[in-house]
Amino acid sequence: MFWLVMPIGSVGKVSLVVVETLGINPTDTRVGGIKLGVNYQYVLNTKGSTPAEVLGIDYKATLKPALDEFMDNIKKSSKAKLEELISLQQQSVENASKIESKRNRLAALQSRIDEGEAQLNLLKKEIEDYTSRCAVEAKRMLEDVQREEHNLDLVEKESEEFLKTSKLKLHDVIKQCDEETQMCARELLMLIDTVSKHKEYMESTISQMKNELLETTGAVADAHKASLKLQFGSIFN
């Protein structure tokens, strides 16, 4: 960067300020010129002891076009930078508006998500409650079924015991009936034998008594059988 230096005192001070401003080391004898921008190069007199000797007598006429062009470039650059800054500010406002819009949309979406989560949690709780009630009801039904099965087992065992006892009783009754029938038959045969022995004495009476006895025997047998059927008919069936 190039700065225009005004005299501020002695020649030594002016020389020092100019040299420092131009970035020149007074002891550096290798410095032969200063580049001004891209198309300018100002040749310095390294043997000079004053600013005029270092820069040359006509340095103002030589440097002014470069400085003017440099200032124009600065103005153009500043204008471009300003326009760019304005554009960036507009973009920033637009981006801020977009960000705010997206933030509002995100807030609305978050609200909907929160509402959905609340409904989901409520539905989850209802499902858990329903599942719990179903589990309790299923457990109760299982206990009822198991209790009914146990009762049916008891009834089945009781029925088997009753059937077994009934069969034994029926067998005893049948046996007793057979014995009584055989005893009656024996008694009847003995009676017939006794009556036969008196046949020759009571022929006329025996015939009549025999008929009555046969009728009586048939009636007794039928009545006895009918009594047995009435008493044990359900068991035989």
DSSP state of 3: -
Average pLDDT on 61-73 reads: 76
Average pLDDT on 96-121 reads: 91
The residue whose two tokens read 């009630």 is 133
Average pLDDT on 4-15 reads: 35
The closest of 210, 233, 232, 229 to 221, measured between CA atoms, is 229
Give the pLDDT confidence score for residue 201 in this predicted structure: 67
Give the pLDDT confidence score for residue 136 in this predicted structure: 93
Higher-pLDDT residue of 163 and 2 is 163
Convert 1-12 to b/e letters by CB count within 10 Å (16 or more is b): ebeebeeeeeee
How distant, in Å, are the alpha carbons of 46, 102, 108, 133, 212 from that of 105?
A: 70, 5, 5, 41, 122
Find the range with the poorest average confidence among 12-26, 101-115, 211-225.
Answer: 12-26
Give the pLDDT confidence score for residue 2 in this predicted structure: 38
Query: Domain locations in the chain?
Result: 1-57, 157-236
**% of the chain at pLDDT higher than 70:** 68
Convert 129-144 to b/e letters by CB count within 10 Å (16 or more is b): eeeeeeeeeeeeeeee
pLDDT interval class at 31 (50, 70, 90)? very low
Euclidean distance between CA atoms 147 and 141, whole angstroms: 10
| Two structure tokens written together for 167 | 């069969």
Average pLDDT on 219-229 reads: 79
Give the pLDDT confidence score for residue 38 in this predicted structure: 44
Give the pLDDT confidence score for residue 228 in this predicted structure: 76
Give the pLDDT confidence score for residue 64 in this predicted structure: 73
88 pLDDT above the threshold of 60: yes
